[in-house]
Amino acid sequence: MNFKKKVFSLFLLIFSCLTLIQAQDYRVSLLTCDPGEELYSAFGHSAIRVLDPETGQDFVFNYGTFNFNTPNFYGKFAGGKLDYMLSVSTYADFLEDYHNQQRNVREQVLNLSTEQAQFLVEYLQINYSPERRNYRYEFFFNNCATKIRDAMELTLGDKLIWNDQLKEADEKTFRNLIDEYVLRLPWADLGIDLALGAVIDRDATPREEQFLPDYMEAAFARAEIQGDGPTRPFVKESSVILEYPNNGFSMSAINPYWIFWVVAILFTAITFIGFKKKKLLIGFDVVFFSILGIMGIVIFFLWFATEHTATKWNWNLLWAFPGHLVLAISLLSKTVKPWVKQYLLFALILADAAVVFWILGWESFHPSLIPIMLVLILRTNYLYYNVGKQKPIER
């Protein structure tokens, strides 16, 4: 079924499911909310306000809600199988929530015709029905912002002109775009970079950038409506609804940037002392490789065992490899199995490959990982040449 037929079928569905009412002059707006302090709110939020001036009814349609009581909530979230849903609240309740969080809210009133506004509102009403309100959430391509953009494109079709050529030519990858919002949350930034693969290191198109509410707000401001009369701006008027002093979010003093360098210095000192005393000091390696192995299992799971699209081709697996956990357990033995030296050489090659991948730009790793990779290269190299000397090898 081609696109026009899909649109026509949806049009018939709307009018077969709703009781036709007299066209109303709805006032439709895009609400854009600034980021909050917590990770779940770090990227901001978008919603649609629908005001009926005749009745005074004032509602907000919100695609960014989910149910914590969903069975196996965390399992579904980890596996990429968690559904979000469209919810509806009063405009007053919506603003109260953001007032309590001290987060700015801006409004863009859309320049829709009466028929276009009517179509959009009926589309939202249909999608709010219990059997249609849930949708499979995907951070980059199916979230609270992109659902709104898609609704606008369905409503206006080819009459909606984004004018992306007016946007400054500053190409950014998906990872660059995320970093703009989480650099102040270094542990969250590290976790995101560990979980997401090389697929997000490509440049995002201006339309794809609209997964972020701020970028969608800017795209709406550039856009025009053409072909149903004189060309007009997509946004009729803009205003600030809630505004609070800039909190000046700052990076936590306890962050991975300096902590990992402390770890690197510690392991360098351990290696030097072990070399002088002809000891391996293997206990530190057991802890180090155990942590890397557990991280590798998580990365492997996210890549191969989930429906997340952004976790594919994650080359963090080169240095955080699941086999490192087996190595850590083997290092506890009084005698070293013959395969351990071969595995150490394999781990060293993988770590070197990770550095090459980073330099060539095949994946952008988190900057704080530089000292961790140096430690990995140092210890695998040291153990490879000394493990047989300090511990007997099984024959």
291-308 pLDDT, tens digit per residue, is 999 999 999 999 999 888
SS3 21: coil
The Cα–Cα gap between 391 and 215 comes to 58
- pLDDT at site 336: 84
The predicted structure's pLDDT at residue 7: 44
* Beta-strand relationship, 58-65 and 83-90: antiparallel
> Which stretches of the chain score pLDDT less than 50?
1, 3-22
Going by their DSSP bridges, the two strands 105-110 and 235-242 should be labelled as antiparallel
CA distances 301 to 65, 72, 310, Å, are 26, 17, 13
Closest CA to 152 of 112, 196, 125: 112
What pLDDT is stored for residue 103 in this prediction?
95
The CA–CA distances, whole Å, from 95 to 31, 90, 202, 212, 232 equal 10, 9, 36, 20, 29
pLDDT attached to residue 17: 42
**Please, are residues 55 and 223 in contact by the beta-carbon 8 Å criterion?**
no
Q: What is the DSSP letter of 372?
A: H
pLDDT for the residue numbered 224? 97
- At residue 18, the pLDDT reads 45
Quote the tokens at residue 215: 């970028």
pTM: 0.86
- Contacts of 123-129 spanning 24+ positions with Cβ under 8 A: 123/10, 123/14, 123/151, 123/154, 123/155, 124/48, 124/50, 124/61, 124/86, 124/151, 125/18, 126/13, 126/14, 126/17, 126/18, 127/86, 128/61, 128/86, 128/88, 129/17
Of the CA atoms within 13 Å of residue 240, those in its CB half-sphere come to: 6
The pLDDT, as a whole number, for residue 68 is 67
For residue 160, report the phi and psi dihedrals to the nearest 5 degrees. -90, 115
Q: Residue 256 is encoded by which pair of tokens?
A: 């991975």
Query: Token digits for 44?
Result: 């901001």
**CB count, 10 Å around CB of 260?**
21
Whole-number pLDDT of residue 12: 41
Q: How far apart are CA 220 and CA 106, in angstroms?
A: 13
